[in-house]
Amino acid sequence: MAKRFSIFTYGCQMNRYDTETITGHLEREGYERSENFETADLILLNTCSIRERAEQKVFSQLGRLSRLKKEKPGLKIAVCGCFATREGEGIAKRQPAVDLVFGTQNIAELPRLLGRMTEGRVVDVAPVEPDFTEVAPIRREGDLSAWVSIARGCDNFCTFCVVPYTRGPEWSKPSPLIVEEVEKAVAEGFREVTLLGQNVNSYGRKTPGGLTFGGLLRRLVEVGGLLRVRFMTSHPKDCDLDMVAAMGECAKVCEHLHLPFQAGSDEVLRRMERGYTGEEYLAKVDLFRKHVPGGVLTSDVIVGFPGETDRDFEKTLEILHRARFDSIFMFKYSPRPGTPAAAMPGRVPEEAMAERFEEALRLQRRMTEDLHRELEGQVLEVMVEGAWEGASPCQGCQEDRGVAGFSGRSRGNHRVQFIVDGPAPRPGDLVDVKVLRGGLHALGGIWPPDSVLMEDSGP
């Protein structure tokens, strides 16, 4: 009987992509995926190290797994991902039930590491150059939208961030390999790809003569059968005309830019070593808006970086006002061992950090609601994901008569729930939905846009 594995993923899209690659390698080795820890012979935890809380969760999960292992002695437990890379041997020392620890850069070696496990516990977190000779085996989640990593690692060393230490230096995947991976995903039925990298804008800069990121976008939109291209994350210092011009020109590239600004104060940005000032960031926003009319902007923000004063924080609020983000991911600063910021003076007390977090969140919610209300009456192209089971998005609208509901994503990455007047659309269809309600988390609408579903006027 085939061996079964179960994998639990913490953190970001990059980790979920890694999970898909790990799954691909394990299936190639004859393993079968099991959604249930109890029936698995091998359990993997793909960990994150971005903030302290993510790390704490790993040890509580490992505690539960060690109890399961007592009942099932043949069970093997593996820990991988950023936290595994950072802690290495330390994880196995603190939790003896762990059989295998491997790093973000050792995924391709997994078959060999599994073989070595017969001799005892294996720890391999040593940095290795990526093998870019073939498309890695990959078992994708979902069936419409595929992640495709275009680069590994990061060279930026923002002072708060562990990524350059856990994922190593930046390596751009050769463009023919990316094209091949996208073509394979399309052949499997995927209609949309999201290109992943810690800083997609610096794609190809270390390999002169190759494609730039804008060039890569232009090449990928030629792939037949592919309907949409998205990407993340962009770094403001490298966001340039090459990229925004390609976004503006290529109809398949969605008009959504995730451009983390992290903080508004020039002094905080300097200590973060982000490589731009608040005004320079806003100039990039203007560049995007000029070349991508109607484009949707989202961002990441950190509150409570060491030394951040009330005055500094006001500058963060100012950027929120001026940039008009559709939504943001907001984080309280979390000191990461070994990063320069962790040793900086001026730790912001938890209470002040929480107050700033709430204030920024309140402001952003108002801004999001305003922006979404402005979309009412507009027609947005939506990629259909499937039937919508929740409450009608149009509750209270004249059009709401308990008709079939569907959901999908706009080009700007809004979640859109809509009612349908006519035959049901299929997953993967692109439909033009008229927005009737702009809510905080989703837009409600109707398709086709010129439908008028009047109330029955009685017998």
* Interacting residues toward ligand SF4 by CB under 6 A: 154, 156-158, 161, 163-164, 198-199, 235
Q: Among ligand SAM, ligand SF4, none, what does residue 6 contact (CB within 5–8 Å per kind)?
A: none
Cβ 103 to ligand SAM shortest distance, Å: 16
Cβ 262 to ligand SF4 shortest distance, Å: 8
Q: What are phi and psi of 277, to 5 degrees?
A: -100, 175
Footprint on residues 18-57 left by ligand SAM (CB under 6 A): 50-51
| Angle value at C-alpha 8, between 27 and 191, nearest 5 degrees | 65
How big is the site for ligand SAM, counted in residues (CB under 6 A)? 18
Handedness of CA 261, 154, 18, 234 (dihedral sign): positive
C-alpha–C-alpha distance, residues 20 and 7, integer Å:
10
- Residues 156-195: x/- map of binding to ligand SAM (CB under 6 A)? ----xx-x--------------------------------
Handedness of CA 27, 226, 132, 85 (dihedral sign): negative
Footprint on residues 102-161 left by ligand SAM (CB under 6 A): 160-161
Q: Among ligand SAM, ligand SF4, none, what does residue 164 contact (CB within 5–8 Å per kind)?
A: ligand SF4
Q: Among ligand SF4, ligand SAM, none, what does residue 157 contact (CB within 5–8 Å per kind)?
A: ligand SF4
Q: Which residues contact 157 (CB under 8 A, 6 or more apart)?
A: 164, 273
Nearer to ligand SF4, 341 or 446 (CB): 341
Cβ 343 to ligand SAM shortest distance, Å: 13
First to last CA, the chain: 65
Nearer to ligand SAM, 269 or 302 (CB): 302
C-alpha–C-alpha distance, residues 425 and 209, integer Å:
44
As given in the structure block, the two tokens for residue 90 are 């330390």
As given in the structure block, the two tokens for residue 91 are 């994880």
Q: Among ligand SF4, ligand SAM, none, what does residue 210 contact (CB within 5–8 Å per kind)?
A: none
Q: Among ligand SAM, ligand SF4, none, what does residue 125 contact (CB within 5–8 Å per kind)?
A: none
Which residue pairs, CB below 8 angstroms and at least 24 apart, start in 422-428? 422/448, 422/451, 424/387, 425/384, 426/384, 427/143, 427/144, 427/384, 427/385, 427/386, 428/144, 428/189, 428/191, 428/227, 428/383, 428/384
Cβ 204 to ligand SF4 shortest distance, Å: 16
Distances (CA, A) of 286 to 2, 201, 283, 297, 323: 56, 17, 5, 11, 9
Which residue stretch of 65-73, 180-188, 212-220, 327-335 sits at the interface with ligand SAM (rule: CB under 6 A)? 327-335
- Residues 207-246: x/- map of binding to ligand SAM (CB under 6 A)? --------------------------x-x-----------
Which residue stretch of 1-9, 38-46, 326-334, 373-381 sits at the interface with ligand SAM (rule: CB under 6 A)? 326-334
In order, the DSSP letters of 389-439 are: -SS-TTTTSTT-SS--EEEEEETT--EEEEEESSSPPPTT-EEEEEEEEE-
Q: Among ligand SF4, ligand SAM, none, what does residue 271 contact (CB within 5–8 Å per kind)?
A: none
Q: Among ligand SF4, ligand SAM, none, what does residue 333 contact (CB within 5–8 Å per kind)?
A: ligand SAM
Most distant pair of Cα atoms in the chain: their distance: 80
Nearer to ligand SF4, 161 or 211 (CB): 161
Helix (H, G, I), strand (E, B) or coil at 293: coil
Cβ 334 to ligand SAM shortest distance, Å: 4
Residues of this chain that interact with ligand SAM (CB under 6 A) are 12, 50-51, 160-161, 163, 198-199, 233, 235, 260, 262, 300, 302, 331, 333-334, 336
